[in-house]
Amino acid sequence: MRILPALLVLLPVAVFAQQGFLPLSTVVDGPATKQLRSPFAYTHSDLRPYLREDVRLLPEDSLRKAAAIPFLGRWADPDHTLHGGPLVDALGGFSAGETDAVKYRVGLGAWLEWNASKRFTLQADVQAWNEVLPNYVDSFARASDVLPAEGLAHREGNAVQHLDWNGSIDYKAGKYFHLTLGKGRNFIGEGYRSLFLSDEAYGYPYFKITTTAWHIRYQNLFALMDDIQGAAGDPAHFAKKFTSMHYLSWAVSKRVNIGVFEAIVWQDNDPKYPRGFDLAYVNPVIFYRPVEFGLGSPDNALLGLALNVKVGKSSTMLYSQLILDEFLLANVRVGNGWYGNKQGLQLGVVAHDAFCKKGLMLRGEVDYVRPFLYSHIDPRQNYAHYGQALAHPYGSGFLEGIAQGEWRSGRWLLSNTFSYAVMGRDSTTGPNSSFGNNIFLSERDRVLGNPGKPSDFGYYIGQPLRETVVQNELSAGWLLEPQSGLMLELAWTFRTDHTDGMPQLNTNYIRAGISSNLHGRHAMQVVRE
């Protein structure tokens, strides 16, 4: 990002149509999502953040352009070459039954966007927080040393301080290419969750090539990740690893889209493979798995397939994802719980303007992930960054059902998300205790079989202890500034977490105030053991 000041000096200032990307936030990009899922157009709504050039003018009543407060509107007006605004969180609440029942979240920051020319767009944002967390999020922060997607957790008494910043430079190279250098998050898929790549983890430095030709969009994403295991929150001891991902989105017709995903993770601090960034994975058109085998390397490779179908006359979509790490059909048929059968499946349906009610979105989704998916023999090469999974926040070894409803009318945004998940929880920690629930453990840490070697079979969801997590998130918001998702909010979290043989943990958390939603917030977290 050191080239940013130079670009700011060299590039001319003029008013042009916006390029770049929308913020990665369902509060901000929700109306665009509905539009991009139209059954009457060739679209690529499975790659977020969205390219602004893909989004046509939206109806005034679905997301008003002007802010409720005039001076916020003047700052944030996207018709201005340089625009931005404040990011403010000022929420207070009460969580019944917890030692520190009074909770708060106070944060302050700013966002800025500059249409430097008709081809260059620069975006940046920064925000810092001080907050007292509900117990289940506090437990996650203590276990991982991070806040979900919002940076390292620094403790002072019962409060936590943390900081997040993001930035990007996007250049439109000719008719077909967008070149993006930045730090931030990306999302691949149509679901509430993603089994390929989600925005659950903290932002990472990346270089992205987005190519669009005919009905095909092809994305190359190269990123530098941090493995923070054992570093006690000290960045000087973080281990570096690289990821290289491809995603091909093909709009077969206006109603059918097929996606192909592949990713590989490798670290540069293995004395057996001291290669740094491996140029063999830069080739933009090859599949990684054959290259990995050809190199004889121990890298972690994933393959995925998506099928999305639009049905009816409104924006209703059936969507799916299949993710594979290792796979032997014979062991799948036998059903013997082989640890190497690492697969995940997502099935869902989402309807916009459901039941002919304008602004109503309804979703139903099921996510199934086998034990040991996303993990690796070398835990430094797991599919994770900054102490969080890069795909589903629960990692591996779970079955989750989600029901979601959202209604938008003018500035009003009402939403409810219900999740019911069953997963396994290990009874002990350390060597030879893993049932594939924790992606931060090595596959070699499997439980011992006979004669004293790690067992290869008998791994199923819900072992060795069955953990059931039920969570409901209900919120009502009134948008003050829709470009950044700044709104007045009243919200309630209800949660139960029960593990066999352990007391049930309950959460009733009510809060109200001002919240910023320039980036997605992730309230559903579980400490996996």
Domain spans, the chain: 4-515
pLDDT in tens, 451-464: 778 888 999 999 99
CA 309 remoteness from chain centre:
22
Q: Is 265 exposed, middle or buried (0-12, 13-18, 19+ CB in 10 A)?
A: buried
What is the percentage of the chain residues whose pLDDT exceeds 70?
88
The DSSP letter of residue 281 is G
Task: Tokens 């983890």: give the residue.
Answer: 201
Distances (CA, A) of 333 to 327, 336, 382, 435: 11, 8, 27, 21
Residue 376 near residue 382 (C-beta atoms within 8 A): yes
The model's confidence at residue 288, banded by pLDDT at 50, 70 and 90, is low
Q: Is the pLDDT of residue 291 over 70?
A: no
Q: Is the pLDDT of residue 114 over 50?
A: yes
Bond into 23 cis (ω within 30): no
Residue 183 near residue 149 (C-beta atoms within 8 A): no
HSE-up of residue 512 (Cα within 13 Å, Cβ side) = 2
* Mean pLDDT of the residues in the chain: 88
pLDDT in tens, 65-93: 678 888 899 999 888 899 999 999 999 99
Q: Report the CATH superfamily, name and number, of domain 4-515.
A: Capsule assembly protein Wzi (2.40.160.130)
Backbone angles phi, psi at 207, to 5 degrees: -125, 130
How far is residue 293's CA from residue 179's CA, in Å, rounded to a whole number? 29
DSSP string covering 121-174:
EEEEEEEEEEEE--HHHHHHHHHHSEETTTEE-EEETTEEEEEEEEEEEEEEET
State residue 9's pLDDT score: 35
Per DSSP, the three-state class of 253 is coil
pTM: 0.92
The sign of the dihedral angle between the CA atoms of 328, 332, 334, 336 is positive
Which residues are 20's β-sheet partners? none
Q: Is the pLDDT of residue 447 over 80?
A: yes
State residue 99's pLDDT score: 84
pLDDT in tens, 149-203: 999 999 988 999 999 999 999 999 999 999 999 999 999 999 999 999 999 999 9
